[in-house]
């Protein structure tokens, strides 16, 4: 399920704003079961758009798409 979506500067700004506003400083993220990253490290990965940064961006974008398409609600109503 590799993404073919082009990552724009606006997408990066949106993701960074969401992380800055919503993630408490005591919460860390692990991608792939190795290592963990702080809020500041997440933002840095997004800024430089490395592999982990792209994964964070796509997680946010996929979620927003699921909300706007109604897919998330449809799945939640299954249980």
Give contact residues for another protein (rule: CB under 8 A). 1-2, 18-19, 21-24, 26-36, 38, 55, 58-60, 62-63, 66, 72, 75-76, 78-79
Please report, for residues 1, 4, 46, 56, the alpha-carbon distance to residue 18 in angstroms, rounded to integers and kept in the order given.
Answer: 24, 23, 12, 11
Distance in Å, CB of 30 to another protein, minimum: 4
Q: Which residues pair with 17 in a beta bridge?
A: none
Q: Which is nearer to another protein, 7 or 58 (CB)?
A: 58
Rg, the chain, Cα only: 14
Distance in Å, CB of 8 to another protein, minimum: 19
């Amino acid at each position: 399920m590799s993404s073919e979506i082009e990552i724009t500067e606006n997408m990066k700004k949106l993701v960074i704003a969401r992380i800055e506003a919503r993630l408490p400083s005591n919460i860390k993220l692990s991608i792939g079961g190795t290592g963990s990253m702080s809020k500041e490290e997440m933002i840095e990965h997004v800024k430089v758009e490395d592999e982990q940064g792209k994964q964070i961006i796509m997680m946010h974008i996929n979620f927003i798409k699921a909300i706007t398409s109604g897919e998330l609600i449809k799945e939640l109503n299954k249980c």
